[in-house]
Amino acid sequence: MKVVVTGSAGFIGSNVSMYLLKRGDEVLGIDNLNDYYDVNLKLGRLERVKAYDKFTEARINLEDKDAIFDAISKFKPQRVINLAAQAGVRYSIENPSAYVDTNLVGYCNILEACRHHGVEHLVYASSSSVYGANTKMPFSVHQNVDHPLSLYAATKKANELMAHVYSNLYGLHTTGLRFFTVYGPWGRPDMALFLFTKNILAGKPIDVFNYGNHRRDFTYIDDIVEGVIRTLDHLPEKNEAWDSDAPDSASSFAPYRLYNIGNNAPVELSHYIEVLEDCLGKKAERNLLPLQPGDVPDTYANVEALVQDVDYKPETTVEVGIKNFVEWYREYYNV
C-alpha cells in the first residue's frame, strides 16, 4: 500500500515507518522536526528510515493546510497514520497554544485531507491521558472520559470526537489508539526512562514524582508498532448493534473504533527504577516529590477489544525492554 505517516521522525512514527517499509509498503513521512526535544535524535531516527528506497520525506507543519493537501494529493495514499502531535502533559500546562495549533488545527487538516483525497482509513494517536480523573482499573474504552486533567489530554479526547464526525458525515474509516506509556530504544528524551538513565549515569539525583507510588502500563515500542500495523490493516466497520439509548463510546453506527494499546500489566515506578538500576549497574539517588499537576497516579490498559479484533498480544516485560533501551543508550551516547 501507499501509507502516509505523520510524525515520521518521532519515536513511534519512525518505527512504524520502518515496519511498513520492511514489508514492502511505500511511505510518505511527514514531520516538521521541531525543537521540542533534541533535533539530532530525530535526524538519527530519520536516517534509519531513509535507508529504504520506498520512503519519501516531507518536512511540513500540520498547521500548513495547503502543504498537507498538496503532499497527500500527489502521493495518493490508501491509508494515513497520524502520529504527529505536540506531546507532553507538563509542557501543555506551560504552553497550551502549541497544543491547539498542532493537535487541533493540524489534526483537522489531516482529517480534511483524508476526506478530500480518497483515503480509506485513518489511524491516529490518542492517549491514555484521556482517562484523566477516572480511577476504575483497568481503564476500558467503554468508560466515560469527560474529565481530562491536562490540555494535552483534552486535545486527544477532541481528536477522537473529531474523527467520529468525519466517520459519520463522510464515511471515513477511523481508528483511534490510546497509547499507554511507550518506551524503548530511540525513545523520547522528555520521558522518565530517558531522564532517569541520563541522570543516574551522570551521578545526579532523579526526580521521582508521587514518591515513586505511580503505577504505569509501560508498553515496549515493538508491541506498540505491532498494534498500530494490525489496526491499520483492519478496517473498522459500523457496529450494527450500537444502541443510542445506551451508547458505547468505543464504537459507533459509523465506521469508527477506539482501542487501548498497552501492555495490560501495570508496574510500580519504584520497581521500574530498580530494574533500570540493575541494567545500569548503578544505584539512583532519588529526589522524592509529590504528584505533579496534570498527572494521574495509575494507568492500566484493558486491551480486550484489541485482542479480540486484531489478535494483539503484547509480550515484552520491563526487564527485557529496559535492558534493550540501556544497551541502545550506551551505544548511541557512547557512555
Q: Mind telling me the catalytic residues?
A: 152
pTM: predicted TM-score of the whole model, two decimal places: 0.95
DSSP one-letter string for 34-72 = -SSS-HHHHHHHHHHHHTSTTEEEE---TT-HHHHHHHH
d(Cα 183, Cα 224) in Å, to the nearest integer?
9
CA distance linking residue 11 with residue 7, whole number of Å: 8
Using an 8 Å Cβ cutoff, are 195 and 206 in contact?
yes
Cβ proximity of 318 and 312 under 8 Å: no
Q: How many whole angstroms separate alpha carbon 237 and alpha carbon 56?
A: 30
**8 Å CB contact between 261 and 205:** no
pLDDT in tens, the chain (335 residues): 999 999 999 999 999 999 999 999 999 999 999 998 999 999 999 999 999 999 999 999 999 999 999 999 999 999 999 999 988 777 888 889 999 999 999 999 999 999 999 999 999 999 999 999 998 989 999 999 999 999 999 999 999 999 999 999 999 999 999 999 999 999 999 899 999 999 999 999 999 988 888 888 999 999 999 999 999 999 999 999 999 999 999 999 999 999 999 998 889 999 999 999 999 999 999 999 988 887 777 888 999 999 999 999 898 999 999 999 999 999 999 99
Cα 324 to its chain centre, rounded Å, is 20
| DSSP reduced 3-state for 195 | helix
